[in-house]
Each structure stands twice: as structure tokens, then as C-alpha cells.
Chain A
Amino acid sequence: MSGKPRLTYLNGRGRMESIRWLLAAAGVEFEEIFLETREQYEKIIKDGSLMFQQVPLVEIDGMKMVQTRAILSYIAGKYNLYGKDLKERALIDMYVEGITDLMQMILMFPFSPPEAKEKNLDSIKERATNRYFPVFEKVLKQHGQDFLVGNKFSWADVQLIEAILAVEEKVPAVLSGFPQLQVFKIRMSNMPTIKKFLQPGSPRKPPPDEHYVETVLKIFRK
């Protein structure tokens, strides 16, 4: 038994990617099991590994954890990425939840029907530019610090850099009105653990393609 966390999911981003980011940012090595067939999925349901019959599943510290937010909160707490007190945790939670709403739009995008894709892309751009990025631009501007909360690297920073890169893949110039976020992006990308995660050969997964969408539909029968 290696003692490393073990992730079970498809070989793609989906709801597991934020967990990969957080573990990587914390410098924690992990193993991955990739679901490739419906039978594999049914097997882990049958053997009782999945509390609510769903993945992501992360085996960590003797627990079979499910539910993305629960897993992320645990990792953040364990690796001191959750602020120094209840109020800092509240801020981190608020920021993460907001970013998650934006990421949810990106998560669902590959599954939208072709005729809805343009509209959905516009929505992502609109929400990023008018609702979410202005908040973090303002936070960074107001306190002038390198990190979003408590002058210390936290889960909120990891979630934000992930979101920035994900939106940029779809809307390349999205940061053009956000100078603080541009600097933040460079700063975060250069943090040693994140820099390593952004290099080829890391556990980071590529953007979803048609094959990934097919695999999701096949395994989860959406």
C-alpha cells in the first residue's frame, strides 16, 4: 500500500480535475484509476465503493471519499490551504463556490447540443467577464497582496488559476480587461508545484474532446 491518495474517474478533466489541481498544488503525489468501460463502473458500484454510486472517488487516509466539494474541502484543510480561521475559510469558500459556478458552465459545455454551443460560449464569456473575474480583480487590487485571502496561498488561488486557464482555452483574450488577474496568472503559474503541474507529462488532463464526451455518455449513459 503506497499511502498516496488514489483517484478513480475517467481519463479526462470532468469533476476530478479540480482535485488533481489541488493535490498537485499541495505537492501531493497521487495515483489514478481510469474508468474506461461501463462494466468497470458497475463493478465499483457493486462492491460498495461509491457512497452515492457516483464518481469522483478519492481514497485518502483510509476513507473512500466522494462528492467533489467534500473531497476538496478535506484536502484544503489537511494541507493548510484553507485559511487561518473561520472567517478566512468563509472567504475562501465564497470565492471557490463562485468560481465553481463558472467552471460548471465549462464542464457542461461539451455536452450541449451543437445548435446551443455558440450561445453557451457567449454565456461563459459574459459571466467570466461581467460577474466573476471583476470580483477577483477587485479583491487583488484592494489589498495589493499576491494571494486572494490572508496574504497566503490557499485553495481559492488554485481554483482561480484553474478557472482562468480553462476560460482562456475557450475565450483567449478574456483577461484583457483584468491587469491584476494577468499578473496573478503569471505568478501562480510560476509557483513550483503549479509550474510542474502545467508541464507535459503531469497528471493534468487535456481539454475534453469528442472521444471524452463519447466515453462519458457510454459509461454514465446520460
Chain B
Amino acid sequence: MAGKPKLHYSNGRGKMESIRWLLATAGVEFEEQFIEKKEDLEKLRNDGYLLFQQVPMVEIDGMKMVQARAIGSYIAAKYNLYGKDLKERAWIDMYVEGTTDLMGMIMLLPFQPADTKEKNLALIIERATTRYFPVYEKALKDHGQDYLVGNKLSWADIHLLEAILMAEECKPDILSAFPLLQAFKGRTSNIPTIKKFLQPGSQRKPPIDEKGVAMVKKIYDI
């Protein structure tokens, strides 16, 4: 029985959000089982569901997949979002690793000590505007196409849009020096499945709040 993929994670973005983006963009409906307290995580562990005792975990195609990158790669390949050959996949992987590094910094921010927040936020903005966004702006400029790789929507585009929106939550005008990324954002947000995911009521999660930070720290013993 195929069934819908089932996502196991806390009710927040974290390392699962990029997977939600991918599935939603591919038009794949999915279920979610939320970890709300430590006991929920312990149960998954005791039932042997988590290969390395960690979430994210996605039940898909008879597998209990763990490790966000592995899950993302599988979904991307299954739904033709991974380029047409090994070289296109290499480019997509490089781009996704870059946006992963940027989003990783942003995700850590709420968990860092209050007195370091201003400095860390400044570093995120600096990295976004001098290390990461220029790369994608240049890629789009060099080939003049709508998508990053192979003139076709891929995981790299979905991940970049997610990163742009997350960075804008840090600094609303962060794209001011990147006209092509602004156009990219507009264009990609209007892809029907993505547009639907960006609307209220979708499975997209909001940024984490103080209550969420406390819950995550409790569940995962941070």
C-alpha cells in the first residue's frame, strides 16, 4: 500500500521544513505526527523507528527514512527535481548545500544566548548578502533562465526560495541589491503548488517562538 508519506517531527520548521517544501512543491500530500513531549520521542526510539535515534523521520515507500539530506535527495529524485544527469545533480547539490548552510545559521539563532543574538544576526545578514545571494544572483544572470539548473524547476530553486523567505524574516529588504533574486522570488512563489503552500492553512510552519524554543529544548535535551 503506497499511502501518503508520514512526517515525524516537532510542530515547527527545524530540519523538517525543507522536506515539507519539497513534498508540497511536488504536489505530494503528506501526513504529520507531531512530537510534543519527550515521551513521544522516546516511544519512537523504543519502537526502533529511528535509525540513529533522531528525527526528522519520514515514512515513505515502505522505508523509515532519517537524515534530512538523505530524505531530501530521495524526494527530489523521485519527483524529477534533481536534474537530468550527474552533472546537473552536482550543481543542484552544490547550490542546496549553500542554502543549507545559510538556513542552518538562521535556524540556530533562537537557540543562542541573548547577548550574542545581535552579533549572530549581523553575521547572518553579512553572509547572506556577501557569500550566498551573490552566487545565485550570478547564476541567474549568467544563463538568463528562470531556474538555477538546466532550465527546469529543481530542488535548488525550491531551497533557494525557502532561504530567501527565511532571510527576509531576518531583514525584510535583504534582497535590495539582488534584482534577479527578487524576480526569481516573485516567479517561483507563483508556481501553483508553491503558491498553495505559501497560503494560510497549508502545512508550512511559522517561525519558532519562545514557547517553541522551550519545547524543543525540553524534548531534545538541549
Binding site for B on A (CB under 8 A): 51-53, 61, 63, 65-67, 69-70, 73-74, 77-78, 86-87, 89-90, 93-94, 96-98, 101, 131-132, 135
Q: List residues of chain B with CB within 8 A of the CB of A94.
A: 51, 65-67, 70
State the CA gap A61–B89 with chains docked (Å).
Answer: 14
Question: With an 8 A cutoff between CB atoms, is B93 at the interface?
Answer: yes
Q: Does A70 lie within 8 Å of B52, measured CB to CB?
A: no
Q: Does A74 lie within 8 Å of B70, measured CB to CB?
A: no
- Closest CB of chain B to A75's CB: distance in Å? 10
Most buried by B among A77, A97, A131, A135: A97
Q: List residues of chain A with CB within 8 A of the CB of B93.
A: 67, 69-70, 73-74
| Size of the chain B interface, CB-CB below 8 angstroms | 28
Q: List residues of chain A with CB within 8 A of the CB of B97.
A: 67, 69-70
Per-position binary interface string of chain B over residues 53-95, scored 1 when its CB falls under 8 Å from any chain A CB and 0 otherwise: 1000000010101110110011001100000001101110110
Question: With an 8 A cutoff between CB atoms, is B49 at the interface?
Answer: no
State the CA gap A77–B77 with chains docked (Å).
Answer: 13
Q: Does A86 lie within 8 Å of B74, measured CB to CB?
A: yes
Query: Nearest chain-B residue to A97 (Cβ)?
Result: B67
Instruction: Choose one: B53, B63, B89; the contact of A73 (CB below 8 Å).
Output: B89
Q: List residues of chain A with CB within 8 A of the CB of B89.
A: 73-74, 77
Question: With an 8 A cutoff between CB atoms, is B177 at the interface?
Answer: no
Q: List residues of chain B with CB within 8 A of the CB of A77.
A: 86, 89
State the CA gap A67–B104 with chains docked (Å).
Answer: 15
Q: Does B94 lie within 8 Å of A67, measured CB to CB?
A: yes
Top 5 A-B residue pairs of the complex, sorted by shortest distance between their CB atoms: A70-B93, A93-B70, A97-B67, A67-B97, A74-B90
Instruction: Choose one: A51, A61, A87; the contact of B87 (CB below 8 Å).
Output: A61
Q: Does B74 lie within 8 Å of A93, measured CB to CB?
A: yes
Per the 8 Å Cβ criterion, residues 32-66 of B in contact with A are 51-53, 61, 63, 65-66
Question: With an 8 A cutoff between CB atoms, is B101 at the interface?
Answer: yes
Q: List residues of chain B with CB within 8 A of the CB of A87.
A: 61, 63
Question: With an 8 A cutoff between CB atoms, is B117 at the interface?
Answer: no
- Closest CB of chain A to B166's CB: distance in Å? 17
Query: Nearest chain-B residue to A102 (Cβ)?
Result: B52
Question: With an 8 A cutoff between CB atoms, is B131 at the interface?
Answer: yes
State the CA gap A132–B87 with chains docked (Å).
Answer: 31
Query: Nearest chain-A residue to B90 (Cβ)?
Result: A74
Q: Does A73 lie within 8 Å of B131, measured CB to CB?
A: no
Given contact pairs A51-B98, A90-B65, A98-B66, enumerate 17 new A-B contacts (beta carbons under 8 Å).
A51-B94, A51-B135, A66-B94, A67-B93, A69-B97, A70-B96, A78-B86, A86-B74, A89-B73, A90-B74, A94-B66, A96-B70, A97-B69, A97-B70, A98-B67, A101-B52, A131-B52
State the CA gap A67–B94 with chains docked (Å).
Answer: 6
Question: With an 8 A cutoff between CB atoms, is B132 at the interface?
Answer: yes
Q: List residues of chain A with CB within 8 A of the CB of B78.
A: 86
- Closest CB of chain B to A35's CB: distance in Å? 18
Q: List residues of chain A with CB within 8 A of the CB of B65.
A: 90, 94
Q: List residues of chain A with CB within 8 A of the CB of B70.
A: 90, 93-94, 96-97
Q: List residues of chain B with CB within 8 A of the CB of A89.
A: 73-74, 77
Q: Does B63 lie within 8 Å of A90, measured CB to CB?
A: yes
Q: List residues of chain A with CB within 8 A of the CB of B53.
A: 131
Q: Does B94 lie within 8 Å of A70, measured CB to CB?
A: yes
- Closest CB of chain A to B164's CB: distance in Å? 16
State the CA gap A87–B61 with chains docked (Å).
Answer: 9
Q: List residues of chain A with CB within 8 A of the CB of B63.
A: 87, 90
Query: Nearest chain-A residue to B130 (Cβ)?
Result: A53
- Closest CB of chain A to B17's CB: distance in Å? 18
Query: Nearest chain-B residue to A67 (Cβ)?
Result: B97
Q: List residues of chain B with CB within 8 A of the CB of A101.
A: 52
Most buried by A among B78, B96, B98, B132: B98
